[in-house]
Amino acid sequence: MPYCAEINREQPGLFIFLVDQSKSMDDRWGLDPNKTLSQGTADVLNRLLHDLIIRSTKADGVRAYFDIAVIGYGGDVNSGFSTIALDELPTSLDKIANTRMEKRIQKVEDGTGGLVDVEVNIPVWLDPIANGPTPMCKALSLAGSMLETWVPNHQGSFPPILVNITDGKPTDGNPEPIAEKIRNLRTNDGNALLFNIHISSSRAAPVLYPSTEDLVPDEGKSLFRMSSVLPEIVIEQASGQNFSIDNSAKGFAFNADLVTLITFLDIGTRGVREKIAD
């Protein structure tokens, strides 16, 4: 069975997150006018990175169960980490364990049915950025180069997972041939997985895990074609959260709101996170 390799220090997993940081990411999220697309995306990815570190922490500290890359593309292509250069990516998870903290106000239950504001410290790796055009092809090409280096040295590992989060079309060409090349890279456990999440300021209902192009608005058809068919391990995770999807569904979401983005990333990565060795 493919996509069943255990995650351990000898066989780490690889996550690459491609984050649209173009000017339009400064738009407000459809149902959350107090948050921009860039801020919401940064918050969700920071939460996910924090979860990966918690899951990889043992008595002896944070173990190198995952290699990580965050690539921002807006105006140009840059490292998503302020303290790690682009040519140092991907980097081992234990090397990003320590990051800066920001104080945020969160509402929590007060025990009597009400809510109170509480100041909490939030770990931050990715900052919200919105600037320039959308060089998605360049970002995907860079991710592909990273995979071409990583995959031959990790043939026993769970296949790499790439997640591309964007609010629009690339401004530097057609990304579909690059995406196909990425999907064809493989470890002994299966092909690399490329998931795409389209976000926007629209309040229209999201389209999640479509199985045919006809279910996707024209603006999202290219991203749909770029996306991998979901492996069984992801379908099982989706079914566990009451999603009814068929075996030809793709790892794609169109017009995702903040909740959908969180759900998509959780379902798309949980199967890998749960394969961490004891």
Q: What is the mean pLDDT of residues 101-126?
A: 80
Distance (Å, whole) CA 270 – CA 131: 31
Q: What is the mean pLDDT of residues 89-109?
A: 87
163 confidence band (pLDDT: 50, 70, 90)? very high
Task: Indicate whether 118 pLDDT > 90.
Answer: no
pLDDT on residue 31: 61
Residue of 24 and 270 predicted with greater confidence: 24
Q: How many CB atoms lie within 10 A of CB 110?
A: 10
Q: Which CATH homologous superfamily contains domain 13-97+124-273?
A: von Willebrand factor, type A domain (3.40.50.410)
pLDDT on residue 278: 63
CB 220 within 8 A of CB 198: yes
Task: Find how far residue 33's CA is from the centre of its chain.
Answer: 23
CB 230 within 8 A of CB 197: no
Q: Whole-prediction pTM value?
A: 0.92
Task: Indicate whether 272 pLDDT > 90.
Answer: no
Task: Indicate whether 92 pLDDT > 70.
Answer: yes
Average pLDDT, whole number, for the chain?
A: 90
> Residue ranges per domain, the chain?
13-97+124-273
Which tens digits make up the pLDDT trace of 63-72?
999 999 999 9
**Per-position b or e across 243-257, b if 16+ CB within 10 A of its CB:** eebeeebbbbbbbbb
